């Protein structure tokens, strides 16, 4: 079985951009879409209608939502006590995979990086019972991976000030924490020499969106690509990425 998966931050609920978002999703031709900033169920429902997806889910005020071409056998939103956002657990029918949608706290600063580490550890503790089966963590992690670069000069003045106020340097630890837990970065595994920046669409200079799998399941990733199509620039400030997982 093949599961073709799209991760897409649709920015501030996506209202007024339903057609552009749907155009990106149709072009990707996927089985399952994990949405971030999907805070408006009416928008998610409309995108599902336009794209012809069989099932959708969203909760007002929660970031994570989904669209699925085929029925899902399980879906749940979980919010560890320390997390700003709930994470999404979803099991597509007959796919052999359990997918966890992730959206960690935003803003590049030392204290928010510490918060992201706490949120991630809470998530890993919550899903420990599934960590021997085929599963993946996917979404907007709002942080920089080891070896990737963030040009602080390209941040808005407000965010540059926050970096300065928090010590002038961010010690990026969130992604290393995932790697230390036995997960691997699917995009970097397949594309060690590509940058893969996903944000912002008008001047992509940082990679914030990721797919992680346990090391033993890494060979199940048939592809993982950033979708830098022109339509994506109209849909959101994030480029989505698409991946294929083999059962």
Nearest Cα to Cα of residue 44 among 30, 60, 29, 31? 60
pLDDT at 113: 84
pLDDT at 165: 47
pLDDT at 233: 84
User: Between the CA of residue 222 and those of 33, 115, 195, what are the distances in Å?
Assistant: 17, 33, 19
Nearest Cα to Cα of residue 67 among 107, 103, 28? 28
- The pLDDT averaged over each successive group of 10 residues in the chain (247 residues) is 95 96 96 97 98 96 95 93 87 90 85 88 90 93 85 58 51 91 96 93 92 95 92 91 94
- The long-range contacts involving 18-22, CB below 8 angstroms and separated by at least 24 positions, are 18/43, 18/46, 18/47, 18/50, 19/50, 20/231, 20/234, 20/235, 21/47, 21/235, 21/236, 22/47, 22/50, 22/51
Could you report the per-residue pLDDT of 38-84, keeping only the tens digit for each?
Answer: 999 999 999 999 999 999 999 998 999 999 999 999 999 998 877 77
Beta strands in the chain (DSSP E): 2-9, 32-36, 55-57, 65-68, 72-78, 87-92, 98-103, 135-140, 183-185, 209-214, 221-226, 241-246
Q: Count, in order, helices (H) and strands (E) of the chain.
A: 7, 12
One-character DSSP codes across 180-230: HTTEEEHHHHH-TT-----B-TTS--B--EEEEEEGGGGGGEEEEEE---H
The CATH number given to 2-246 is 3.60.10.10
pLDDT at 60: 93
Q: Which tokens sit at 21? A: 């978002």
pLDDT at 157: 54
Q: Does a cis peptide bond (omega within 30 degrees of 0) precede residue 12?
A: no
d(CA 75, CA 145): 29
């Amino acid at each position: 079985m093949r599961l073709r998966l799209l991760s897409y931050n649709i920015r501030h609920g996506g209202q007024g951009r339903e057609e552009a978002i749907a155009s990106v999703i149709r072009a990707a031709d996927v089985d399952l879409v994990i949405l971030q900033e999907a805070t408006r169920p009416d928008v998610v429902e409309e995108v599902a209608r336009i794209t012809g997806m069989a099932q959708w889910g969203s909760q007002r005020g929660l970031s994570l939502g989904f669209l699925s071409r085929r029925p899902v056998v399980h879906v749940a939103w979980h919010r560890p006590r320390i997390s700003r956002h709930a994470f999404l657990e979803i099991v597509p029918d007959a796919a052999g995979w359990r997918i966890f949608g992730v959206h960690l706290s935003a803003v590049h600063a030392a204290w928010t990086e510490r918060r992201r580490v706490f949120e991630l550890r809470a998530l890993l503790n919550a899903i420990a019972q599934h960590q021997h089966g085929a599963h993946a963590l996917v979404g907007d992690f709002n942080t920089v991976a080891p070896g990737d670069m963030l040009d602080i000069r390209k941040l808005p003045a407000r965010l540059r000030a926050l970096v300065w106020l928090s010590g002038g340097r961010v010690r990026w630890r969130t992604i290393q924490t995932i790697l230390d837990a036995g997960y691997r970065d699917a995009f970097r595994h397949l594309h060690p020499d590509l940058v893969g920046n996903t944000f912002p669409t008008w001047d992509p200079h940082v990679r914030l969106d990721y797919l992680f799998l346990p090391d033993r399941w890494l060979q199940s990733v048939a592809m993982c690509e950033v979708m830098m199509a022109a339509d994506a620039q109209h849909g959101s400030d994030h480029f989505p990425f698409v991946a294929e997982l083999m059962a």
